[in-house]
Amino acid sequence: DQCHVTSDTVAKIGKIIGTSVDLNVNKLRVPADSRRMILASVERVLMRQNDTTRDEILQELRNSLFEGQEFASRTEEPMTWEQISEMAAHGIRFGAHTCSHPNLSHVDLETAEREIVESKRIIEGRLGAEVSGFAYPYGYDVAGYRRFRPILEKHGFHYACTSWCGH
């Protein structure tokens, strides 16, 4: 069971990462057990792109890697509100993270504020507890996230974190 990755998809990935991807795609055959690893690697590279570009390229790559097969993008399930409530009852605190997980580096301040505030509102309403922390989706744009500080302060956040060590 093998698949072919199209030259168009390879070219788009190469353009985004800033280097040509030197592959003879006509001879590129990807064993089935390596497809998810390839997709995960490309997802990490594409996380810095705007959501539309990232999603289009990932969909093309999924179509190439899993042609004719059903593709489940995640195997893990998110926690239920029941599980979250039980954890909160035992002292675990929850923070906001946005509602639709946009890459905040590519959205305007109005959209970002709406995403952040709605996430906080929903969690506070469900748990009946203050949400004082925020975690940036994708979490890589440490310098760029400074523009959100006034929004976070305005809406009562005490801290925000990224996925980068020390930030």
Task: Determine which of 4-18, 66-80, 143-157 has the lowest per-residue pLDDT on average.
Answer: 4-18
Q: Are 115 and 141 in contact (CB under 8 A)?
A: no
> For residue 54, what is the enclosing H or E element?
helix 51-65
Query: With 50 as the cut, is the pLDDT of residue 151 above it?
Result: yes
SS3 37: helix
**pLDDT band (50, 70, 90) for residue 3:** very low
What's the CA gap between 118 and 151, in Å, rounded? 13
User: Which comes out higher in pLDDT, residue 38 or 146?
Assistant: 146
**pLDDT mean over 16-42:** 54
Name which of 27, 28, 24, 44 is nearest 36 in CA terms: 44
Query: With 90 as the cut, is the pLDDT of residue 143 above it?
Result: no
The confidence score (pLDDT) of residue 97 equals 94
Q: Which residues pair with 135 in a beta bridge?
A: 161
Name which of 69, 24, 67, 65 is nearest 43 in CA terms: 65
The confidence score (pLDDT) of residue 61 equals 72
Q: Are 25 and 6 in contact (CB under 8 A)?
A: yes
Query: With 60 as the cut, is the pLDDT of residue 16 above it?
Result: no
User: Which comes out higher in pLDDT, residue 154 or 61?
Assistant: 154
